[in-house]
Amino acid sequence: MAVKGKGLKLDDKGLVAAIVQDANTNQVLMLGYMNKESAELTLKTGTVWFYSRSRQELWNKGATSGNMLKVKELWLDCDNDAVLVKAEPAGPTCHTGEVSCFFEPLTAEHVAATEG
């Protein structure tokens, strides 16, 4: 099968950003990063795999907590450097127990206190 456009375009760390959206509610659940191998594993297994930048290892999201993400749709953006995963979560996606990692309003105080 022909590929429309080019292949997945990795950054200088070998990663693409991957947005996870609930396939049923359309709530945005989290943002992670995939390397080539985690994208392959996500396609092959039908569950979401990331590459953890802090732990520097492949990470099958939810494998420890049981809150796996079942892939329903995978989309690539027009620059080929970002992925949108529409998935069914088995439970809360955030490690805090919240449904989504985006549970805190961004304020001017956060921006004023920017680090790094």
Q: Which residues are annotated as a binding site?
A: 77-79, 81, 94, 101
- The 8-class DSSP code of residue 47 comes to B
| Residue type present at position 105 | P
Q: Please say whether the beta carbons of 27 and 101 come within 8 A.
A: no
Contact 97, 77 (CB under 8 A): no
Going by their DSSP bridges, the two strands 16-22 and 82-89 should be labelled as parallel
Q: Which two tokens stand for residue 16?
A: 């693409």
| Closest separation in Å from C-beta 63 to its own copies | 19
What mask of x and - would describe binding to its own copies in positions 57 to 86, judged by CB under 8 A? ----------------xxxxxxxx-xxx--
When binding is defined by CB under 8 A, the residue of 24, 43, 63, 88 that contacts its own copies is 43
- Give min distance, CB of 17 to its own copies, in A: 5
DSSP reduced 3-state for 89: strand
Q: What residues are designated binding site for Zn(2+)?
A: 78, 94, 101
Please identify which residue in the block is written with the tokens 């659940």: 29
Rule CB under 8 A: is residue 1 a binding residue for its own copies?
Answer: yes
**Is residue 7 a contact residue for its own copies (CB under 8 A)?**
yes
Give contact residues for its own copies (rule: CB under 8 A).
1-12, 14, 17, 19, 21, 26-28, 30-31, 36, 39-40, 43, 73-80, 82-84, 94-96, 98, 101-116
